[in-house]
Structure 1
Amino acid sequence: MANSSQKKIAHENGKMLLSLRKGFIWVNAFYILYRIVYHWSTFSFKLAVAYLLTAGLSVLLYSQIHKIGQPRYNSKGELNDAGMDLTQEGLVQYAFDIIYVTWFVHVTSAFWGKMWWFYLAIPLYAAWKGYELAVKPMLGRTGGMPGLANSGAAAGSGEPVKSKRREKMEKRAEKGPQVRYR
């Protein structure tokens, strides 16, 4: 038996999956009707390959999102597992972003074929994010992964960063043992 938070997650996941399904139908129907049917004379083999590859990628990502976000019920119809929360940060959000960029490219490239170049935003963003999270902290610069900026040494001084509590304890230790009278 699931609690109310699990039911809320299942409900939100269901709404998100439904909106993704509707988006796929509308975007692909628009592209096929407007670009392929209405402007058949300008539709080339290269555009067909690009459309099929990007549509296939978005379908693959949708199937993965559907698999991890689909709620599971037992034989009595009670919620066993709400699935993964699709609103949380991480790889699922990147999958959503790739799907949305694909939809944007499909809709805008129906009007102007050069919009396929916008699809380069995905690998450029991945390269920048990889640099920020992996390469930049290894180079010894501050920034990048949270928590790495204050660990180790202060910026450029070479001394370890101490908390105020630690500094206070060291000052007390320098004074020596204190004798307290009642």
Structure 2
Amino acid sequence: MAQKAAKQLAARNAQLLKRTHLIALSLHGFFLLLRLVLFRSQSTRSTLTPYLLLSAPALLVEFWFERIGRPKYVTRPGSSTAELKNSGEDLEAKGLTEYLWDVLYWTWGCIAVAAVFGNRAWWLWIVIPLYSVWLAYTTFGGMKQGLGGLGGADTGAQATSNRQKKMEKRGGQRVQYR
């Protein structure tokens, strides 16, 4: 079967995007229903301003996922079936994609909490920039530790493995000729 992996990725991406859009639509509808219909004691402007401002990153991430992850099909003339042209990027990839999913999920949580408890719940959103700073710090710290032997560091102070220590005890490496 040709392009089996690409077809599986396309199906997985399409399902993931469908679920993501349904959850986002439900959460935004839930927020607007509660805040604008049931809890009308606050003014509409003071409710919608933080909502629009702080839910915008999640909407941008969602549209970005739609752009890079949506499979593209092409229908050839004279054919009734569509052929997979591009399966899209893997939406379950590590790295930046994983971080963007974290931003999306946390923002969804903030929307749900803000819908129930009010505008003060938007302060939970501050965790996202703090998490970004923490990720950058740990990434830089790991990179700094990994590059410890470079940049003028004392190479004699590097740790030697047990195998290297045993070899040095025996008088160094011995080469056997056949």
TM-score (norm 1): 0.77
Deviation string 1:116-167 (CA, Å, 9 cap, x unpaired) is 1110110000011111112x3xxxxxxx249818x639xx995234456766
- Give the Å deviation of 1:54: 2.3
- Moved runs in structure 1, 4+ residues, more than 4 A? 162-180
Structure 2 counterpart SS, 1:52: helix
**Superposition RMSD on alpha carbons, in Å?**
3.2
Unaligned 5+ runs, structure 1: 137-143
Aligned residues between the structures: 169
Partners of 1:175 and 1:93 lie apart in 2 by 45
TM-score (norm 2): 0.79
Contact in 2 for aligned 1:35/1:43 (Cα 8 Å):
no
- Give the Å deviation of 1:179: 7.9
- Give the Å deviation of 1:22: 0.3
2:50 is aligned with 1:53: no
Unaligned 5+ runs, structure 2: 77-81
Deviation string 1:90-140 (CA, Å, 9 cap, x unpaired) is 111222211111111111111212211110110000011111112x3xxxx
Structure 1 counterpart SS, 2:85: strand
Partners of 2:49 and 2:108 lie apart in 1 by 16
Higher RCO, 1 vs 2 (CA within 8 Å, ≥6 residues apart): 2
Shift of the 10–2 alpha-carbon distance from structure 1 to 2, 3 Å rule, reads farther
AA at the equivalent of 1:99: L
Name which of structure 1's ranges 36-45 and 24-33 shifts more when overlaid on structure 2: 36-45
